Chain A
Amino acid sequence: MSVFLNKDSRVIFQGFTGQHATFHAEEAMKIGTKVTGGVTPGKGGTQHLGLPVFDTVEEAVRETGADVSGIFAPPPFAADAIMEAIDAGIKTIVVIADGIPVQDMVRVERYRLGTNSIIIGPNTPGIITPGVGKVGIMPSHIYSPGRVGIVSRSGTLNYEAVAQMSELGLGQSSSIGIGGDPVNGTDFATVLKAFEDDPDTDAVLMIGEIGGPQEVDAARWAKKNMRKPLICYVAGLSAPPGRRMGHAGAIISSESDTATAKIDTIEALGMFVVRNPADIGATVLRAIK
């Protein structure tokens, strides 16, 4: 097992025939991801990458039994695509788009209420379960099967952590990017819970950044509910207040939003913390031993 994407997952891509979706669907198939088809309105009934294309997500789910969707629609159309996937009963919805209007995500999260769907992202590199498959845009060759779960807001910082872990011979059970937007689908705490329940995960690395209460909320949840070691890094020690650091959600609006405030609180809760981003791999190793 592993979280959100496992060997039984059946994957479709929305915006399937577009350039980016095509490239990343092919990459996903190369590493064994069970891609069953895709959706592009107006191209239903055709074939793409040797797989069926459907006009609607509802039809794709009915015909292929898909339960995971990778959404490659551009930001202005992403909210509609997410809600279509929710309506069709897709369980795990991975949203790559960077730049979805925040009020669109407020409406999407309202629409999702009461359903069984979870949204990973937006503005995420996606999900990868090494040895099983991926739905996303991360370079799969840097990951390797192992027993550490990773959850991060940033994509490249996730890669950085993976590279440091690989140097020390540590692999990953799954790696989940929850995305850098202020209003996102799945939060850190939800992913921690999934890893806590996953028999193939021994420890979890959480990579956060400035802005919002998510990292501290997740660490509080972990203090109460988690038995596996949790290692945390929060990027942006040197970020100035009031400025959006690349990610729409990375902004210090109050004292508790700073990297220092977050990491101090998380350390006081008894978690393993990393202050120098170059020490991520070594800290994970220390936590496991």
Chain B
Amino acid sequence: MNIHEYQTKDLLNHYGVPVPPGRVVHTDAQAASVAEEIGGARWVVKAQIHSGGRGKAGGVRVGSSIDEVRVIANEIIGSVLVTHQTGAEGRLVRRVLVEQASNIVREYYIGLVIDRATRRITLVASAEGGVEIEVVAQQTPERIIREIIDPAVGLLDFQCRKVAYKVGLKGTLLPQAVKVMKGLYRCMRDNDAIMAEINPLAIVDSGQLLALDAKMSFDDNAMYRRPTISELRDFDEEDPKEVEATGHGLNYIALDGDVGCIVNGAGLAMATMDAITLHGGRPANFLDVGGGATPEKVANAFHIVLQDPAVKLILINIFAGINRCDWIATGIIQAMRDQNIKMPIIVRLAGTNVEEGRAILNASKFPFIIASDLNDAAAIAVTEVNNIVKKVAPLEKEHS
């Protein structure tokens, strides 16, 4: 789960990380009054969407007067920002963060990740702040400083000092840097984050360290014990189909193809997408119905997949372990009947109660295409979808 920049800054500030004075607003009038209230000579107006690359897309701008802040806020709020992370459709900006602008002397990067190889939280730092850490890691890997944290004792002062000296934070900056790093770590640990970064962490002309931008992601599996973080979830930033899927205990991710997929198990779901791709087709989605799929769950899966207008047919691939093919088949029939589905449905069933499952499908009046194995299922799906596209294409030409 991701949260907005202003929420991350509030949270970090509670852990002693200094951030610029500022507030989130929903209108240009509020933007002007916040600018007046916090004072200063220049202000930054920052679009609040869950995406990087906001600056390049025109979502972060500086105003030198209260009026200018109002104008900028007016332009950004309600606009659609297109960044490298939002896709071509972009994201509607509903609110902006208005902050006192700082005169930056130097920028650094401080972040925490869960390193899969060491199975530990790792502090990552660089003197190359303000640019994406992935870019630094690729171009100048030697400029990245890493410090592995032992969960039994947490991030220690000496580790922070080591990192600070290596990136060049000395003198009066050293104790500030230690405080920022320890605050960031405690914030990550106490709130079950899986990633936290301050980029840039800047030295400003007053000689202070300030977190000018910050980002945190949280562990969905731990949100049951983090009610205050859960409340920060912004459903407007998520695909409504994915939100609905989560509510039904399904894992759904929208993709840009036309072959709808309903599969059990994350690995098999990915392999099914791979098989479709290798046959020259394009999967419309990733969908894992999980273990113990009831007929209702299967019917819900159809409902979600069919909300994507690009879907031309559906491929169902089930290898039942703790699942049961007869329940899956019952769910398929239920969906066909209740949702009045007309497109081709290709079904591959294997595993527990496969004979019962096939019998249920055969006894129905629906024209299912039964596939014998994974390869067969993918091949049929791609052939069928190509036939549909061929039939539709000439018609469209006649109309135009």
Q: Could you list which residues of chain A lie within 8 angstroms of chain B, going by C-beta atoms?
A: 75-76, 99-107, 109-110, 125, 137-139, 142, 152-160, 163-164, 180, 182-183, 207, 209-214, 217, 233, 235-240, 242-243, 245-250, 254-255, 259, 275-278
Contacts and interface: CB of A to CB of B under 8 A. Distances in A.
Given A102-B194, A107-B151, A163 B266 contact: no
Interface in B349-400: 350-352, 373-375, 378
Nearest to A142: B351
A239 B270 contact: yes
A75 B221 contact: yes
Nearest to A248: B221
A212 B116 contact: yes
Contact of A246 (B137, B274, B288): B288
B113 to A, nearest CB: 9
B127 interface: no
B283 interface: yes
A182 B115 CA distance: 9
B228 to A, nearest CB: 16
Nearest to A208: B267
A156 B265 contact: yes
Given A163-B350, A239-B286, A152 B267 contact: yes
Interface string B265-279: 111111111111110
Interface string B108-124: 00000010110111000
B264 to A, nearest CB: 6
Nearest to B250: A246
Contacts of B138: 255
A100 B192 CA distance: 11
Nearest to A237: B274
A159 B322 CA distance: 11
13 contacts: A99-B221, A110-B120, A110-B151, A152-B267, A154-B267, A154-B268, A163-B351, A182-B114, A237-B273, A238-B277, A245-B270, A254-B137, A276-B375
B114 A277 contact: no
B268 A160 contact: yes
A106 B222 contact: no
Given A106-B119, A163-B319, A245 B274 contact: no
B321 interface: yes
Contact of B265 (A139, A155, A217): A155
Given A156-B264, A245-B266, A245-B286, A110 B150 contact: yes
Shortest 10 CB-CB distances between A and B: which pairs? A154-B267, A246-B266, A156-B265, A278-B375, A157-B267, A101-B222, A277-B271, A156-B268, A235-B270, A238-B277
A272 B253 CA distance: 31
Interface of B: 85, 114, 116-117, 119-121, 134, 137-138, 150-152, 189, 192, 194, 219-222, 224-225, 251, 253, 255, 263-278, 283, 286, 288, 291, 319-322, 350-352, 373-375, 378
Contact of B85 (A104, A106, A109, A242): A242
B250 to A, nearest CB: 10
Contact of B276 (A209, A210, A238): A238
Contacts of B253: 240, 243, 245
A251 B225 CA distance: 24
A112 B168 CA distance: 36
A126 B39 CA distance: 61
Contact of A157 (B120, B265, B375): B265
B71 to A, nearest CB: 34
B222 A259 contact: no
A207 B277 contact: no
Contacts of A250: 266, 270
A277 B274 contact: yes
B118 to A, nearest CB: 9
User: Of A109, A246, A259, which is in contact with the most chain B CB atoms at under 10 Å from its CB?
Assistant: A246
Nearest to B134: A254
Contacts of B288: 246
Nearest to B267: A154
Given A137-B291, A278-B275, 9 more contacts: A101-B219, A137-B321, A156-B263, A156-B264, A156-B267, A238-B277, A243-B253, A246-B266, A278-B374
B219 A102 contact: yes
Give the most central of A103, A155, A248: most B CB within 10 Å: A103
A234 to B, nearest CB: 9
Given A102-B219, A103-B219, A277 B275 contact: yes
A66 B269 CA distance: 36
B221 A139 contact: no
A228 B213 CA distance: 51
Contacts of B268: 154, 156-157, 159-160
B266 A154 contact: yes
A105 B321 contact: no
A260 B219 CA distance: 27
A110 B152 contact: yes
A159 B323 CA distance: 12
A158 B321 CA distance: 10
A214 B119 CA distance: 12
Nearest to A110: B151
A157 B350 CA distance: 12
A283 B283 CA distance: 25
A139 B321 contact: yes
Nearest to B377: A278
Given A105-B119, A139-B321, A239 B273 contact: yes
Contact of A237 (B117, B251, B269, B277): B277
Contacts of A240: 253, 255
A211 B211 CA distance: 30
B229 to A, nearest CB: 12
B267 A247 contact: yes
